[in-house]
Amino acid sequence: MDERIAVVTGAAGGIGSATARYLARAGAAVALIDVKAESITGLAAEITAAGGRALPVRCDVTDPTQVTAMVRTVAREFGAPHILVNNAGVLRDGALHLMSETDWDAVHSVNLRGAFLCARAVYKHMARARWGRVLNLSSVFALGSVGQVNYATAQAGLEGMTRALAVELGPFGITVNAVAPGLIETPPAEGADGLMGADGVRSALVADTAPLRRTGRPEDVAATLAFLAGDGASYITGQTIHVDGGLPLGRLPLNVCGVGN
């Protein structure tokens, strides 16, 4: 990926930081986007020390003004972006009768609106280059999960947006794909009521549900994203790739909510 410029949102998170490291090792210059300035500054220093190129840019992806300014900064410092990884996401789990409008809006604003704003902001650069990769982080729980009506709806919306943009942007040489992780050991997942960290639940998932007998790692998702971002995936578009260890969604414990970005 030498000479490629990648923008990774939610870069302070487990999947985001793993993806940034993976792309940097592959030769891409990586813009690290997050609201957690201290975390992405440290990650940028780590990548740079390892011989890569990284630029931390604090940005709230729900704010169109900040998103536009972020892309301008990346273009000025590194060059026009070729790759966008829409990884920024939040969880606000709760049963329907307890879920507030604020919880609903927060998830849709970051997970869905943020991806739209970032894709819109980088589109002109990719179209001009006649080459681009837009990668959206969905989830196996886009198919539904108890206590996650806001999250499931937003992630399903991302998959619909992926297909629509694949049709619209394909003539410009831009592929658009989604990756849907399963149970990944990330900080948001660990913090979801402690369920991912509970030995009993983890053991049940590993021993009785997942064919690969383990939960996923951020690197598992990062490797898939890196493949889709490369030239080898030039004829793949409009797809949602599940990275879930073969986990059958219908057999998940109903109270396990927590797939974080």
Residues catalogued as catalytic: 151
Tokens 């920024």, located at residue:
88
Cα(71)–Cα(55) distance, rounded to whole angstroms?
A: 12
Q: Are 149 and 220 in contact (CB under 8 A)?
A: no
| Phi and psi at residue 67, to the nearest 5° | -65, -45
Q: Which two tokens stand for residue 20?
A: 């940034």
- What Å distances lie between residue 47 and 24, 152, 161, 206, CA to CA? 7, 33, 31, 33
SS3 state at 54: strand
Sign of the CA dihedral with 42 first, then 113, 235, and 259 last: positive
| DSSP tally for the chain: helices H, then strands E | 9, 7
Quote the tokens at residue 21: 């490291």
